[in-house]
Amino acid sequence: MSAYDIAQLSRLIGMLPPAPADWVQAAQELPRARRELDTIVERAEADQAFREGVVADLETALRAEGIEPTRPLLEELRRRVSE
Amino acid sequence: MEAARDDGEAAALGATQLTAEASDAQLVARCRTGDEDAWRELVDRFSRYVYAICVQAFRLPEHDAEDVYQEVFARVYEKLETLREDDAFRPWIAQLTRRLCIDRKRSGAREEPADEVPETAADDVLGELEEAFDVHEALAALPDNCQEILDRFFARDESYRTIGDALELPAGTIASRISRCLTKLRDHWEETGPSTRPESR
């Protein structure tokens, strides 16, 4: 980069806008989401009716625990309650 | 990665900025101990970078970009133990994001043929994004609200009025502040070794 290229610096600053806030929040809350997911799976293993409800509507099951149902979490929950 | 505690704090929303308080290696090491504050900071530090790779380098549509973005951090969370050199976190997450973007483009193209982004073109943008990441880190060293003013104006596309209202500054002074801050950034950039950085593309 040229020593005097302020225009280039400005352009580079503009190349990294923030990600949508809800995406960031969901990623930051992954540790908690994983714990809640473990709880759902444990309960599903112990309660057949609960398990059927989870399988029928994974998104609602996650939302009920306050977890944003991102695709990786949905896939993991689907995999674990189907095992 | 095992979570050691949950302090229940709400995650910081998009207003946070890249900081140089802890090195990537230090942050990664803290994440491995289950430090959830460190995890939040790690996400915060690399969020823009991952997002930009998805939407600028690979031009993923928003819904695909969101899936890849969440997948990147989910895999980082799961695989952090396998990172051999903590100092190499940035290239590692860049490579992971790149690979997931390519996978997404290919699976999307099978279902619905669309404009292809040549991987070489994407890699050119990736090089620029790496440089942009360095510039954002350099911003953190600037005084007098410079980091926030420059970020709001150039990265968030905010108007002088919006910036002035948010920072309780007269809107008429924002342009001159931006100019002064850019000069400070350029001076700092030169002092901290721009010669070691790649030439402009």
Q: What is the ipTM of this complex?
A: 0.85
Q: Across the interface, do A6 and B186 touch by the CB < 8 Å criterion?
A: yes
Rg of chain B taking only CA atoms, in angstroms? 18
The pTM of this model reads: 0.83
B16-118 and B141-201, same CATH topology: no
| Residue B60: both structure tokens together | 């993923």
Task: Chain A: give the shortest CA distance to residue B1, in Å.
Answer: 9
Cβ contact A3:B195 at 8 Å: no
E strands along B28-126, which residues? none
Cβ contact B135:B189 at 8 Å: yes
Domain B141-201: top CATH class:
mainly alpha
Q: How many helices (H) and strands (E) does chain B have?
A: 8, 0
The predicted-structure confidence for B111-157, as pLDDT tens digits, reads as follows: 655 556 567 788 889 999 999 999 999 998 888 689 999 999 999 99
Q: Tell me which chain B residues have a C-beta less than 8 angstroms from the C-beta of A28.
A: 11-12, 39-40, 43-44
Could you tell me how many residues make up chain B?
201
Domain map (residue ranges) of chain B: 16-118, 141-201
Report DSSP state, residue B20.
Answer: -
Between B2 and A43, whose confidence is greater?
A: A43
Task: Chain A: give the shortest CA distance to residue B114, in Å.
Answer: 23
The predicted-structure confidence for A2-60, as pLDDT tens digits, reads as follows: 555 899 999 999 999 999 999 999 999 999 999 999 999 999 999 999 999 999 999 99
What confidence score (pLDDT) does residue B16 get? 40
DSSP per-residue letters across A4-35: T-HHHHHHHHHT-PPPPHHHHHHHHTHHHHHH
Task: Chain B: give the shortest CA distance to residue A76, in Å.
Answer: 10
**CA–CA distance from B140 to each of A18, B134, B185 (Å)?**
15, 10, 10
B16-118 has which fold?
Rna Polymerase Sigma Factor; Chain: A (1.10.1740)
Query: How far is Cα of residue B139 from the mean position of the Cα atoms in its chain?
Result: 13
Nearest neighbour of B155 by CB, restricted to A13, A25, A32: A13
